[in-house]
């Protein structure tokens, strides 16, 4: 099997607890014009879902299903971006997320096994695995954006990084120490070029360093089934 793309950054705060944040950050813009996308083709999208325990290892995505997952990511990024900016999200994006929420039945299915008899379980047909994965991601996003931590959802401020995070500290501005180091280096260079007093900026850098250390401790048609 070929090597899958790897984003050269640690998981952003909140991505380990919220699969929706992990999906948001499955593509990232990096310095030098680079962009890494972990859902770039069906094989990579399958690996991402398996790695996040959303589908069994035997699952194989078709191109259509990969496009559906990328589409959900785009809609989530639109809604999360509007949330961070304090704006109303486009209704189109909300409708798409709601379709993902309702596309998979939640009822436990009835089945039978010799020696066990009748039982109920969430053993859904393989053709619905991706819909169930997307429903779980959408549910996680809806719970995060309407829950107690909604105000902590932020976007990394270290351009060109465009990842999202759930802040662990009110003054946290970026998704990783690496992004923070890049911003501080740019500030230092700008001060040197302009000859401006460094006192205020240096104080902010000390605050940001403390934050980083603390964090280190711390009505369209319904989509067709995928599989």
Domain CATH code at residue 28: 1.10.3300.10
Structural contact between residues 96 and 161, judged by C-beta atoms closer than 8 angstroms: no
Q: Is residue 117 part of a domain?
A: yes
Structural contact between residues 150 and 189, judged by C-beta atoms closer than 8 angstroms: no
Alpha helices by DSSP H, 57-168: 63-85, 91-102, 129-146
pTM of the model: 0.78
What average pLDDT does the chain have?
84
Write down the pLDDT at residue 220.
Answer: 45
Domain of 46, in residue numbers: 19-172
Which tokens sit at 109? 């299915």
Q: Is residue 184 part of a domain?
A: no
Which tokens sit at 86? 């304090």
Number of domains the chain is built from: 1
- Does position 99 have pLDDT exceeding 90, yes or no? yes
Residue 227's SS3 state is coil
Q: What is the pLDDT of residues 161-203, one digit of tens each?
A: 999 999 988 777 889 988 988 888 878 877 887 775 555 445 5
- C-alpha to C-alpha distance for 92 and 90, rounded to whole angstroms: 5
Residue 149's SS3 state is coil
- C-alpha to C-alpha distance for 129 and 138, rounded to whole angstroms: 14
């Amino acid at each position: 099997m070929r090597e899958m793309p790897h984003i050269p950054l640690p998981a952003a705060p909140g991505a380990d607890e919220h699969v929706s944040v992990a999906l948001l950050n499955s593509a990232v813009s990096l310095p030098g014009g680079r962009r890494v996308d972990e859902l770039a083709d069906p094989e990579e999208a399958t690996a991402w879902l398996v790695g996040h325990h959303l589908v069994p290892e035997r699952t194989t995505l078709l191109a259509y299903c990969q496009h559906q997952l990328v589409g959900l990511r785009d809609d989530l990024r639109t809604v999360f971006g509007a949330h961070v900016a304090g704006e109303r999200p486009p209704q189109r994006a909300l409708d798409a997320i709601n379709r993902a929420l309702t596309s998979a039945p939640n009822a436990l299915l009835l089945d039978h096994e010799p020696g066990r008899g009748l039982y109920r379980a969430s053993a859904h047909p393989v053709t619905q695995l991706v819909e169930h994965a997307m429903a779980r991601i959408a549910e996680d996003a809806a719970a995060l954006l309407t829950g107690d931590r909604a105000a902590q959802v932020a976007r990394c401020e270290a351009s060109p990084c465009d990842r999202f995070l759930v802040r662990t500290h009110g003054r946290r501005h970026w998704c990783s120490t690496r992004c923070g180091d890049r911003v501080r280096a740019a500030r230092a260079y700008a001060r040197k070029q302009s000859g401006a007093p460094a006192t205020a900026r240096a104080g902010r850098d000390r605050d940001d360093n403390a934050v980083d250390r603390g964090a280190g401790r711390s009505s369209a048609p319904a989509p067709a089934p995928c599989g």
